[in-house]
A = this chain, B = another copy of it.
Amino acid sequence: MLASTVEFVPARRHYPPPFIGLRQSAATLYREVASKRQIWVKDVPIGGGAPVAVQTMTKTETANLAATMEQIHNVAEAGADLVRVAVPRDEDVEALRTVVAESPIPVIADIHFNYTLALKAIDAGAHCIRLNPGNIGGPDKVAQVAERATAAGVPMRIGVNSGSLPKHLHELERESPVEALVAAAVEFVELMESLDFENFKVSIKSTNVPNTIAANRLLADKIPYPLHLGITEAGTKWSGSLKSAVGLGTLLADGVGDTIRISLSTFHAEEEVKVAWEILKALGLRERGPVLIACPTCGRLQFDMDTVVAEIEQRLEGYEEPIEVAVLGCAVNGIGEASHADFGITGAKNEGLIFAHGKPLRKVPQDDLVTALFEEIDKSLDRGKVEVDESKSAEGAKWLKRIEDENADELTPERIAQMEAAAAKAEGADAEPLPAVAPVTGGNASKRARTRLDEDASPVAGRRFTRT
């Protein structure tokens, strides 16, 4: 069952995008094809139903080859499909030739104002040219770039930003910034078409999330070309990530957007790539590595979950398979809410349960939970499927039932039924003592390396468990 889904295929080769497990049912949310047209940036398709491509931009001077190539390797490792580099000077366009030759992923040259740099970037082998047709020196300059790009088979990204609309749209901008942005984009599209150049994607960006959403929705209805999505100047690492998740997530949820870049005010471009992937994973649009779900912890929590989750998150970073792992802190809703997870654990006071696809695999002592979970994951990945030992599974199911009984005053419907029956006979029924349950002693658990307990991150005060 698992066997058919765990083979790791680099995400850009997923075409159409794979939906595994519980994400399958969500496919109806998306437009079948995000944009009608498709372009190729070297070997990466954009639009036309291709997987949403993740891109980022180096934060270095492109002419600083060592620093630039180090950052490109970092972002490629983090999962960038495309990388953009700034080309503001001749020394940068000189360096571009080497960057293009050495980069493991296609390279987009970012050009402002200077059409000769655009021509040189195409000559240097750039796989795509980003420019704003409105600031390159007039339609004849745009025509020269388009001609050179056509000859070289190089696509363009053309785009408008809310900060740099052409003058004749300034009045419209004051009335309706959204319509002004869309009008500017459509004018550029028509300009390119008049030049017989249709090998492009379009971007329309604003610092304002609602306007970015509205403008891109409107534009997607008006033009068939692929859309590049981004929030300009999104902000700091934390707030910028959230802003981008809101804005780009909203568009992508409805199939608008074919390639995305998260802009964060940090030198570490790979952080932008990680956020982009998290957004795509959340929407089931692409898969990359494991997905960890965890309950939010509450007063019902019966084990040191913050620590366990941190340890699992850390260990999962070593896995490339798109498995889903669930961590539940108590049994109020049973395995139910995590029954579709590929693997999961739920813990109680001394022991915990490992489960897979809603079925108990085995119970283990509390201290062994994480180790045992990864034993099961590794075994299943090796075998290509989850093998269930029925006797251990039954023992696990029995244990789960026992834990439910142990917490019967708050948990099981059966217990409530008993209490209700008792209450019908006499007052004070809910003061009835709980059934005594012998504590379960741990097995021969060896001491293992654990994540450091951090009282600040995961304080014990107010919780049911203590640390020893």
A residues with CB within 8 A of B: 22-23, 25-26, 28-29, 57-62, 64, 66-68, 70-71, 85-86, 88-90, 92, 110, 112-116, 135, 137, 141, 161-164, 176-178, 207-211, 213-214, 232-236, 238-243, 245-247, 249-250, 253, 263-267, 272, 275, 278-279, 282-284, 291-301, 305-306, 309-310, 313, 326-328, 332-334, 336-340, 409-413, 415-417, 419-420, 423, 430-431, 457-459, 461-464
Contacts and interface: CB of A to CB of B under 8 A. Distances in A.
A282 B247 contact: yes
B266 A297 contact: yes
Contact of A297 (B59, B115, B243): B59
B417 A137 contact: yes
Contact of A278 (B162, B176, B243): B243
Contacts of A245: 241-242, 245-246, 249
A211 B253 CA distance: 11
Contacts of A90: 409, 430-431
12 contacts: A25-B177, A26-B208, A59-B463, A60-B299, A60-B461, A67-B461, A67-B462, A235-B292, A235-B293, A241-B242, A265-B306, A266-B306
A29 B210 CA distance: 7
- Among A62, A267, A283, A301, the most chain B Cβ lie within 10 Å of the Cβ of A267
A291 B207 CA distance: 11
A210 B284 contact: yes
A236 B278 contact: no
A416 B265 CA distance: 29
A148 to B, nearest CB: 15
A300 B89 CA distance: 10
- Among A89, A176, A208, A240, the most chain B Cβ lie within 10 Å of the Cβ of A208
Given A135-B413, A208-B26, A410-B114, A459 B163 contact: no
Given A164-B337, A242-B245, 19 more contacts: A22-B177, A25-B176, A57-B296, A88-B411, A90-B409, A90-B430, A110-B298, A161-B336, A161-B337, A209-B284, A233-B293, A233-B296, A235-B291, A236-B309, A249-B249, A263-B295, A265-B297, A266-B458, A267-B297
B253 A336 contact: no
A408 to B, nearest CB: 10
A178 B462 CA distance: 37
B296 A85 contact: no
Contacts of A208: 22-23, 25-26, 284
A416 B135 CA distance: 10
A306 B210 contact: no
A439 B97 CA distance: 33
A361 to B, nearest CB: 19
B113 A246 contact: no
A162 B53 CA distance: 31
A232 B247 CA distance: 21
Nearest to A293: B233
B267 A213 contact: no
A336 B164 contact: yes
B214 A462 contact: no
A431 B57 CA distance: 27
A60 B463 contact: yes
Given A59-B297, A298-B86, A283 B209 contact: yes
A263 B296 contact: yes
Contacts of A214: 26, 28-29
A88 B60 CA distance: 55
Given A265-B327, A337-B233, A283 B210 contact: yes
A355 B267 CA distance: 25
